[in-house]
Amino acid sequence: MARETFYITTPIYYVNDLPHIGHIYTTVVADTIARYKRMRGFDVRFLTGTDEHGQKMERSARARGVEPKALADEVVRRYHELWRRLEITHDDFIRTTDARHRAGVHAMIARMQAGGDIYKGSYEGWYCSGCEAFFPETQLVNGTCPDQGHPVERLQEESYFFRLSAYQEPLLAFYREHPEFIRPATRYNEVVRFVEGGLKDLSISRATISWGIPWPGDPEHVVYVWLDALTNYISALGFGSGDTELYERYWPAALHLVGKDILRFHCVYWPAFLMSAGLPLPRQVFGHGWWLRDERKMSKSLGNVVRPDALIERFGPDAVRYFLLREMTFGQDASFSDEGFLARYNADLANGLGNAASRVLAMARRYGDGRTPVEACDDSVLRTKAGEIVGRWRETMDAFEFHRALEAVWELLAAVDAYVNEKAPWAIAKAEGVSSPRLQHVLYNCLESLRLAAVMVSPVMPAMSARLLAQLGAAEGGALEWGGLATSRPLGEEGALFPRADVEAYFAEVKVDENKPVQPATPVPAVGGAPAPTPAPAPQAVAAEPIGIDEFARVKLVVGTVKTAERVPKSKKLVRLEVDLGEPALRQIVGGIGDRYQPEQLLGRQIVVVANLKPAVLMGVESRGMLLAASLDGAPFLLAPDGEVPPGTGVK
């Protein structure tokens, strides 16, 4: 019998910027669900991709002096790289610049036209290129877009329209019949209220921009970017390209996973387009919450966007995946903070999981000759507990309550710990010898519980799960039934799953970053490897509050020559310099530049230093000043005079 299919999608990401943790969140959740559904035997198809057309993209490329496609190619490369590092198991990656996608969009428009829902008219109104959306005057808030507060611009142009107004009643009827279509329930109510408020026809072409899919038969127009983008979910299955096998097999989608910001496009426009085209509607759209940074909205202009690269590099992909799923109640907002991340990392991963595993494995090695116990054990409180936890884990995973599913696994780990304390295997070994059946049973119960925990966390932490299973001498992909651990098998290699994070070192380095001048809007890498021309900084990034020249003059900037340089022990980034500032003695300055500069490269080099900064101690080393560097995506580029000057020369 054919297996039940499960087609899951992420939004396709705009390529005018690099991904941050909000973007990776959606993809990590989708990957976790895809892995879980595969475990449960579904025939899964998992799609992600990029949204490359539109006014925003055209402008970003123009500002950088490159072609939109070239800019997109470079950012897409970064997305592929990131998904590889995060072990994302998508089956396909669609780009809206793919030929197959254009064919799908044209086929979609042909069907909507055949349904009589498209007509030509003239559009006059407000357009927000940040959201790529039209807004009636009545919806503007203080002259800005009501969704994100972006600036809007007046548009007056000829346009093709979609008769969205005709779909108000059919949509409301559909929502009533399919209350599970929009999740969570609070979002269902929001969408219903929005549609009940009345729908206006939608402009679905643009005549004043050229970066888009040409309108079929009218090349003066390009297709409106949201009609273009939403169609990716079927064009990626071959809709419009002739080969309909995947489309027949996987459409309608089981789940479109999106952020709450784009719920309306997916719950109102998309089903209306599909109704018009006479195509089946997706089964569910889930609108998840928003990641904030330290309780504030993340935005490039505030310079507080959390990029995933450094976190993945330092803590590994599994720790990042775990944090995202454990910290956010799926559907609600959550806040990222360095403190929160480190606390969870140390408490749950290094201590909770890591300690439970290393404690049990050390005993198994000591009392079992490096092998799993000689006999399985079927009769224990742990078995009952594990059975209950597996049931709860399944229920919560099915309901997408990932934080609760993970909580359940940690409850099992705590039960193992309590069981070890109570049974005291060391005492049994002493009293009865290592071949005591009682001792072997106790060990089996612990190892088998850990095996079940490893299988349960595998959708969230695939690499860690594989590693733990190998340490336990267990096979990957084992069943979630008690007794899966084979007896008398060699245990795998030892090794900590998650080394404890040194919080002090982390903050010393983060602090160094924060001491740097406020970063301008994140630059997109240039095409062809050359450094990107830095885009004009967003206004807030330059100065939230203007300062006077006298205030600026209080900062004493001087040129110095580096005389000695060495790495600060145990730190990846920090370098200790002794700098000649034209003073009687050399100045010791600690800078977070070690990930881009080797100490020997710095010798003799001239740098710019803030000479009157209060001393600070970074990882136990006093720094009496701060060096200046441009910060590109977190990487430092040292500033220097354009020609050698005597040490101590002032900078104005």
Considering only the stretches 9-17, 87-95, 378-386, 429-437, report the one whose residues sit in contact with ligand ME8 under the rule CB under 6 A.
Answer: 9-17
Q: Does 261 participate in binding ligand ME8 (rule CB under 6 A)?
A: yes
Tell me the C-alpha distance between 155 and 125, whole Å.
5
Of residues 397 through 416, those in contact with ligand ME8 by CB under 6 A are none
Tell me the C-alpha distance between 92 and 7, whole Å.
11
Tell me the C-alpha distance between 564 and 550, whole Å.
34
Beta-carbon contacts of 515 under 8 Å, excluding residues fewer than 6 positions away, are: 626
Residue at shortest CB range from ligand ME8: 22
Between 29 and 416, name the residue whose CB sits nearer to ligand ME8.
Answer: 29
- Tell me if 592 sits within 8 A of 514, measured CB to CB: no
CB of 78 to ligand ME8, least distance (A): 13
- Tell me if 596 sits within 8 A of 573, measured CB to CB: no
Q: Which of 202, 213, 298, 579 binds ligand ME8 (CB under 6 A)?
A: 298
Beta-carbon contacts of 359 under 8 Å, excluding residues fewer than 6 positions away, are: 417, 420
Tell me the C-alpha distance between 71 and 52, whole Å.
9
- Tell me if 468 sits within 8 A of 369, measured CB to CB: no
From residue 25 to residue 64, the character string flagging contacts with ligand ME8 as x (rule: CB under 6 A) and all else as - is xx------------------------x-------------
Tell me the C-alpha distance between 560 and 606, whole Å.
6
* Mutual angle of helices 425-432 and 402-423, in 10-degree steps: 30
Between 306 and 562, name the residue whose CB sits nearer to ligand ME8.
Answer: 306
From residue 316 to residue 355, the character string flagging contacts with ligand ME8 as x (rule: CB under 6 A) and all else as - is ----------------------------------------
Considering only the stretches 19-27, 190-198, 428-436, 608-616, report the one whose residues sit in contact with ligand ME8 under the rule CB under 6 A.
Answer: 19-27
Calculate the CA dihedral of residues 74, 80, 82, 85 and round it to 10 degrees: -140
Beta partners for residue 650, in sequence order: 558
Tell me the C-alpha distance between 27 and 14, whole Å.
14
Q: Does 262 participate in binding ligand ME8 (rule CB under 6 A)?
A: yes
Q: Does 22 participate in binding ligand ME8 (rule CB under 6 A)?
A: yes
Between 12 and 386, name the residue whose CB sits nearer to ligand ME8.
Answer: 12
Closest CA to 450 of 424, 425, 484, 422: 484
Pairing of strands 255-259, 285-288: parallel
Q: Does 274 participate in binding ligand ME8 (rule CB under 6 A)?
A: no
CB of 287 to ligand ME8, least distance (A): 8
Q: Which of 112, 204, 213, 258 binds ligand ME8 (CB under 6 A)?
A: 258
Number of residues that bind ligand ME8 (CB under 6 A): 19
Q: Does 12 participate in binding ligand ME8 (rule CB under 6 A)?
A: yes
Q: Does 229 participate in binding ligand ME8 (rule CB under 6 A)?
A: yes
Which token pair is 13?
A: 């990401």
Considering only the stretches 12-20, 199-207, 383-391, 556-564, report the one whose residues sit in contact with ligand ME8 under the rule CB under 6 A.
Answer: 12-20
CB of 96 to ligand ME8, least distance (A): 9
Considering only the stretches 255-263, 425-433, 492-500, 602-610, report the one whose residues sit in contact with ligand ME8 under the rule CB under 6 A.
Answer: 255-263
Q: Does 291 participate in binding ligand ME8 (rule CB under 6 A)?
A: yes
Between 12 and 118, name the residue whose CB sits nearer to ligand ME8.
Answer: 12
Q: Which of 6, 7, 13, 162 binds ligand ME8 (CB under 6 A)?
A: 13
Between 258 and 541, name the residue whose CB sits nearer to ligand ME8.
Answer: 258
* Mutual angle of helices 55-64 and 68-85, in 10-degree steps: 100
Q: How far is CA 231 from the centre of its chain?
A: 23
- Tell me if 577 sits within 8 A of 568, measured CB to CB: no
Backbone phi and psi for residue 368, each to the nearest 5 degrees, phi listed first:
-125, 15
Considering only the stretches 17-25, 346-354, 411-419, 600-608, report the one whose residues sit in contact with ligand ME8 under the rule CB under 6 A.
Answer: 17-25
**H or E element that contains 154:** strand 153-162
Closest CA to 334 of 299, 288, 292: 292
Q: Does 68 participate in binding ligand ME8 (rule CB under 6 A)?
A: no
Q: Does 23 participate in binding ligand ME8 (rule CB under 6 A)?
A: yes
Considering only the stretches 200-208, 257-265, 447-455, 633-641, report the one whose residues sit in contact with ligand ME8 under the rule CB under 6 A.
Answer: 257-265
Q: Residue 531: what residue type?
A: P
Interface residues with ligand ME8 (CB under 6 A)?
11-14, 22-23, 25-26, 51, 229-230, 232, 258-259, 261-262, 290-291, 298
